[in-house]
Structure 1
Amino acid sequence: MVDTNEFGDAVDLVVDGRAVTITSPNKAIFPSVGPESTPRTKLDLARYYLEVGAAIMRTLRDRPVLLERYPNGVRGTSFFQKRIPDSAPDWLTTTTVSTINGTSSRALVISDLAHVLWAANQGALGLHVWPFRASNPDDADELRIDLDPSPGVTFDMTREAAGYTNELLAELGMIGFPKTTGSKGIHIYVRVEPGWDSFAVRGAVVALGRILATRHRDLITDAWWKEQRGRRVFVDFNQNAPHKNMFGAWGVRPRVGAQVSTPFRWDELDTIDPEVCTIDTVPSRVDRLGDPWELMDDAACSIGPLVERFARDLADGIPDPPWPPQYPKMPNEAPRVQPSRARPVEG
């Protein structure tokens, strides 16, 4: 295939027995990577995914993904592509995903590494992943704890919050698998036993966030409204709401330095540096240390105790915290009104 232009001739990369064409391979996607602050290209991005292929497929296989596309690199315009067009290659695996409001779209399903390379050629930087497998969409098999730093929170504070979260998970008989977000936060994933949907998983994380916020109130908050969070780490329970997806492990973030959302071991919590985990350094890290998430599928956990705690809170009159604004009003939900704008209750 010939594609002669200012960014070089197209390159075919063979993976899983399929040749995937990388067009404009010399187009700079990341302008300032590593100590030498040099660009990395679309072909560099595709080759990175080849190098971490086994690890990324453990997290992505059979999962629908949303593409965040940067056709002209991280300093260009971007958009989310919710629907895979009919003009896409006929070998792509897709599925229909629906929002809670009933809007459906045709999403890409990562059935092999060739699908990842196809997405990379579209200028997709990382993939936003649904918490279920396309072959079993009724089971949300990933509980995702998003430790989101409020303004003024340092990464050391986020590390501390992650450590407390790991301690609580251990108390509950659950195993958490952490990763950097590729920026200032930390995500912790828990593989969930079959039989739970996203409503139950979200309720479990609401309960977990409440425990953490009660035990460590100066460091951690479960307050949905930003004006109530202060300088604390927010446990974003709504990342588990139905149809929510999160930036996937091993994905390269849309940052000029090509930082990667990098899984790590708990004994690395005090030393992991998200800024140096880049498209250049992560492949050698995997070669040296292996995949910290390799055994996640063997560590499925029950979320029953947390779901029961959430149900007890409702029975005791504690409302479900607000859902994101695009969701319909939910049963037992607290008023979806910013506290500073709420009308005072008349006595």
Structure 2
Amino acid sequence: MTLIRCPDGWNGECFFQKHLDKKSPPSVKPVPIEEDGETKYYVAVNSLAGLMYFVQMGVLEFHPWGAKVDNLDRPDRMIFDLDPDPSVSWPKVIETARLLRELLAMLELKAYVKTTGGKGLHVVVPLQKRNDWAEVKGFSKTIVEKLVQVQPKSYTSSASKAGRKGKIYLDYLRNAKGSNAVAAYSTRAKAGGPISVPVTWEELESGIQSDAFNLTNIFERLRSSDDPWQDF
């Protein structure tokens, strides 16, 4: 995974980290990956102790790959990142997530949704590790381009800032090997400590905002609600 470290807090200097330091403790699992002709050791966390180590190191955001350590070449999830231009209304973002869900359902794929803690949504599909990264990325690109074709004034698949004005950027590039997306229940390096949180489709339809959950109210949510992704 990739970490966003902010030793002086969210409003201080933050930086990315994806490789392990040599002094990392036993609670942190190094994952060897061939990169540019040499072996690099990536960050992986599989214990509370490892998680707490990074929290103590000033990590505010955790961004995992779409694959598990036991099979890095076969993604176990497909992610669609809905990133709206500031001028786009929130109901339009919700509508887009719904359309995406319906399209995936036609292909017999069950979709889940979570807030990002920012301004958008993640629509996530669990996979059975049958396909490689290129296949998953290509498939997600086809889905996105279909939506862009149907509503070209509303959506774009281009990462170019110039072409995103007034539109929702449908980002399928999260499905490339080495790419990542913020984890469910990760904090974000923003004022107020917003958190990326799984929600039900019913909650989304009720208008719940992407920054609805934060360090102040997340514990009440966890106490009072079932896990929306319990059968993920």
TM-score interval (norm. to shorter)? over 0.9
Residue 246, structure 1, aligned to residue 168, structure 2: no
CA distance in 2 between counterparts of 1:102 and 1:213 reads 38
Structure-2 residue corresponding to 1:80: 16
| Matched-pair contact (CA < 8 Å) for 1:71–1:77 | yes
CA distance in 2 between counterparts of 1:134 and 1:79 reads 24
CA offset digits 1:34-64 (Å, max 9, x no partner): xxxxxxxxxxxxxxxxxxxxxxxxxxxxxxx
Amino acid at match of 2:33: V
Structure-2 residue corresponding to 1:255: 190
Map residues 1-347 of structure 1 onto 2, 5 A cutoff: 65-99=1-35, 101-102=36-37, 104-270=39-205, 271-296=207-232
Amino acid at match of 1:247: V
| Matched-pair contact (CA < 8 Å) for 1:161–1:219 | no
SS in 2 for 1:119: helix
CA distance in 1 between counterparts of 2:37 and 2:84 reads 32
CA offset digits 1:107-154 (Å, max 9, x no partner): 222212222111111110120101111111121111010111124223
| Matched-pair contact (CA < 8 Å) for 2:184–2:196 | yes
1:292 CA drift (Å): 0.8
SS in 1 for 2:41: strand
CA distance in 1 between counterparts of 2:114 and 2:17 reads 25
Structure-2 residue corresponding to 1:44: none
CA offset digits 1:150-191 (Å, max 9, x no partner): 242232221111111111111111111111110101011111
CA distance in 1 between counterparts of 2:2 and 2:157 reads 27
SS in 1 for 2:230: coil
Change beyond 3 A, Cα 1:224–1:90: closer
* Root-mean-square deviation (Å): 1.7
- Which ranges in structure 2 are unaligned for 5 or more consecutive residues? none
Query: Which has the greater radius of gyration?
Result: 1
RCO comparison, higher one (Cα < 8 Å, 6+): 2
Amino acid at match of 1:83: H
SS in 1 for 2:147: helix
Structure-2 residue corresponding to 1:339: none
Change beyond 3 A, Cα 1:278–1:103: farther
| Matched-pair contact (CA < 8 Å) for 1:220–1:235 | yes
Change beyond 3 A, Cα 1:102–1:278: farther
Give the total of aligned pairs: 231
Amino acid at match of 2:180: N
Identity between Structure 1 and Structure 2 (%):
28
1:226 CA drift (Å): 3.2
CA distance in 2 between counterparts of 1:290 and 1:103 reads 44
1:71 CA drift (Å): 0.4
Amino acid at match of 1:240: N
1:258 CA drift (Å): 0.3
Amino acid at match of 1:276: A
| Matched-pair contact (CA < 8 Å) for 1:82–1:105 | no
